[in-house]
Amino acid sequence: MTGAPFLGVLARALRFRWAVLLAVLVPAAAVGVLAVETRADDTTAVAVVGVAPESADVLSTDAVQLALGRYSVVLTSPEVLREVASETGISVDVLDAAVDVTASQEAGNLAVRATLPSTDDALLVARAVAEQTVTLGEEDPLADATVLSGARTEAPGLLSSTRALQALLVLAALLAALVVAYALEAVRPRTRTGGDAAGAAGGPVLGSLPAFTSAWPRRAVAPDSEILASARSLRSGFLASASSVPDGPVVVVGAEAGAGASTVSFLLARTLADRGQSTLVVDLDLDHAGLSATMGTPSRFALHDALTESAPLAETVHREGAVAVLTTEPLSGVDDLVDRRLPDLLKRSADRYDVVLCDSAPLGAGELSEVVAGHAASAVVVVRAGTSTAAVARTATRLQRLGVPVRGVVLNHATRAQAEAPGLRETGRGG
């Protein structure tokens, strides 16, 4: 999605990738909060020890700096920690993790910190280590050590607060979730608007259809009046596009399985028939025969009869109100028959009907779908909102390879506003 605006992609990620966002956010936040909740609350005690030259005769900044470096190393050595362990009763291993000594060359002092779960233990260890520094100073001929500040508890930092740390971890989890959702929307873009579909398919938006039912729980979503209004609007777009493509049969193909090509074919045929145009829908989904199965396939093998001319075309047609439908059953092993006889069947159909719509399986679903599409004069691509733009582009590429121009795009499971909205790249250019 080169050139797509950052805010546009982010808005889509928030709207359409919310399930991914929650899938990352909830576990990450829960683990972080639980880890902080169950951690031990440690206390840090600090004592400050000053280091100065032994006497004015040996006044030297270098001597002090050398002493600071030496003391900071020696105080955390196993020998000193064993001395502190014997005084405090705390094991050397615990002291090794708890004691930290930092030197300030400018101030000439050492900060001795002890971090332990018990406040009393922390104070005791910080005091004992500071006293060890004084002992080392007494043995040092160049520098003395003096406790400047006795052991005291250190004010906890922001991240020492359980609630503050939990809030920070939740924010980090939210940021990670946003990054994942954004990346998916940017790297694997989906068709959200008519502009997206038109850009990927290379044809204008003819119209849209609303969702008839929800996936779960299964219930009606759009009333019949809205469906028919959308179908009539689709009819207008279809008729307006007639001058942009050659006359002849139109293949209606979904960008993916389940896009709704059969539904679009029949509703478009119905509204065209309502306008007085004779319309034939040919079920050329030769793998599944979805439209025929929905209507209830007649006992006669209509498409096969029409291809072989074992019966007149008029007798093989099944009527659904004012719409003529040439039904079929799933076929196998008849590629050659379809390839040889379909052009003649479509020509006879075009001579008899004003509009011939060929309901086809998605291209790439099998060789038959491309055989069928290759004999059409133009194509209408049906795109279900949310389909990957790559799938739409692949369909357009296959049609181009077959020499079949895209007459237009129908955005299914979408509102009219979605169908009329520009694509993401168009939004970026407009902004």
Burial 193-214 (b: 16+ CB within 10 A, else e): bbbbbbbbbbbbbbbbbbbeee
Tokens coding 224: 């019949």
- Indicate where the chain has its CATH 3.30.70.1130 domain(s): 43-155
What's the token pair of residue 124? 């005791």
Is residue 381 a contact partner of residue 203, using CB atoms and an 8 Å limit? Answer: yes
pLDDT (tens, 9 = 90+) of the chain, 431 residues, equals: 455 688 888 989 998 898 999 999 999 999 988 887 776 678 889 999 888 776 655 556 666 778 788 888 888 899 999 999 999 999 999 999 999 999 887 778 889 999 898 889 999 999 999 999 888 888 877 778 888 888 898 766 555 667 788 888 899 999 999 999 999 988 889 999 999 999 999 999 999 999 887 666 667 678 888 888 999 999 999 999 999 999 999 999 999 999 999 999 999 999 999 999 999 999 998 888 888 888 876 556 688 889 888 888 888 898 888 999 999 887 765 567 888 899 999 999 999 999 999 999 999 766 778 888 999 999 999 999 999 999 999 999 999 999 999 999 999 999 999 999 998 876 544 43
Residue 213 CA, chain-centre distance (Å), reads 24
- Centroid of chain to Cα 350: 45
Helix axes 162-187, 18-38, angle to 10 degrees: 160
Q: Under CATH, what is the fold of the domain 43-155?
A: Alpha-Beta Plaits (3.30.70)
First and final C-alpha spacing in the chain = 16
The amino acid present at 236, given as its one-letter code, is S
Query: d(Cα 289, Cα 182) in Å, to the nearest integer?
Result: 39
pTM above 0.85, yes or no: no
Closest C-alpha to 390, from 215, 258, 200: 200
Alpha carbon 92 to its chain centroid, in Å, reads: 51
Q: How far apart are CA 303 and CA 344, in angstroms?
A: 13
Instruction: Give the pair of three-digit tokens for residue 183.
Output: 């990346």
- CATH number belonging to the domain at 191-430, selected among 3.40.50.150, 3.40.50.720, 3.40.50.300, 3.30.1330.200: 3.40.50.300
Alpha carbon distances (Å) from 6 to 273, 285, 427, 430 = 46, 41, 11, 14
Rounded to whole angstroms, the Cα distance separating 259 from 377 reads 21
Q: Measure the CA angle with vertex 166, ends 162 and 171; round to 5°.
A: 150
Q: Start-end ranges of CATH 3.40.50.300 in the chain?
A: 191-430
Write the burial class of residue 6 (CB in 10 Å: 0-12 exposed, 13-18 middle, 19+ buried).
exposed
